[in-house]
Amino acid sequence: MTEIDPAAHPVRAPESVAPTAQALDGIVPAPVGLDSVIAEGLEIKARSQWDYARRRFLRHRLAMLGLVGLVIIFGAGIFANFVAPYSYSAIDLTNLLHPPTTVGHHYFGTDSIGRDYFSRVIWGIRTSEEVGVFVAAVSSVIGLFVGAIAGYYGGWVDNILMRITDLVLTLPALAVLLTAAALLGSGNQWRVSIILTLFFWTNIARVVRGLFLSLREKEYVEAAKAAGARDGRIMFRHILPNMLGPIIVNGTLSVALAILTEAALSFLGFGIKPPTPSLGVLVSEAQTNPQQWWLTVFPGLTIVAIVLFVNFMGDGLRDALDPTQRRVRA
């Protein structure tokens, strides 16, 4: 009875380890030993590039802080109608310019016509995040396509893109944005988003173009060409996945940049117009009551928090999505 038949317990036997390692490479189909490994509750899983990235991201403390902070702030904005105790336009004439208090849930006080400022900030987050996400998403997609074509084919698309860059580099950016806003008319968040997108896509297109220029010379592109792949397939199946990292990082950071720019435009009176509350509009309106500090401080702090968290997350993503960091134990 003391003898243990090694065949009955293949898991502990050293020879069963080697095939498992081979199975990881995907060359050898799972050998018999593997079944019993799974049966014992030990799981063996190949880690993909994305698994490594996710692990690195989850280990990045600042990035996780950013993610959690953003989820809370953006969550409050998305569910504004549940989170905000009042409507953003509800007027309470008995409570004008009331400092922050827990009485009646006026955590951020009230403004000059008695609207609950906490609710206005929450609804403002919603507007600002709509602008940020819209601008980042749409300009990433446009920038991706234009940059890919410009970088891969060169030619007139590339020429136009580079001439636009020249123009952008010689004009004061904010002044051009203001002029565009004066031309296209501002007002609600979607108009402002479209105006911002008109300027933001060039940034991403330039990044994508630069990456395409260097990646199109790689051996695997040559190999794909030799195998007879069409241009579209090479661009989007072979090259694109290799530069998703920088694109995602750029897109993330443009959320913050778009929110900041929207705030600046609204502040100068060329962006979102009241009564729609955006964080920039709120700070702008607070100018008329400089003695009521809470009117300026809270929406501004919210912008600072969003931008900081987005930047933290962007930094974390940059580190996580950089495949050259794979060797770091994660």
Q: List residues binding another protein (CB under 8 A).
A: 163, 166-167, 169-176, 178-180, 182-183, 256, 260, 263-264, 267-270, 280, 283-284, 286-287, 290-291, 293, 296-297, 300, 303-304, 307-308, 311
Of the two residues 114 and 300, which places its CB atom closer to another protein in the complex?
300
Listed in sequence order, the DSSP H helices in the chain are: 17-25, 32-39, 49-59, 61-78, 80-83, 117-153, 155-170, 173-184, 189-215, 219-226, 231-233, 244-267, 279-286, 293-320
Q: How far is the CB of 81 from another protein (least distance, A)?
A: 26
Q: How far is the CB of 173 from another protein (least distance, A)?
A: 8
Q: How far is the CB of 226 from another protein (least distance, A)?
A: 38
Of the two residues 234 and 286, which places its CB atom closer to another protein in the complex?
286
Of the two residues 247 and 263, which places its CB atom closer to another protein in the complex?
263
Of the two residues 90 and 171, which places its CB atom closer to another protein in the complex?
171
Q: How far is the CB of 13 from another protein (least distance, A)?
A: 48
Q: How far is the CB of 259 from another protein (least distance, A)?
A: 9
Q: How far apart are CA 71 and CA 259, in angstroms?
A: 16
Of the two residues 214 and 287, which places its CB atom closer to another protein in the complex?
287
Q: Which long-range contacts (CB under 8 A, 24 or more apart) does 68-71 make?
A: 69/305, 69/308, 69/309, 69/312, 70/306, 70/309, 70/310, 70/313
**Where do we find the tokens 């897109």?**
251
Q: Could you tell me if 226 and 95 are in contact, meaning their C-beta atoms sit under 8 angstroms apart?
A: no
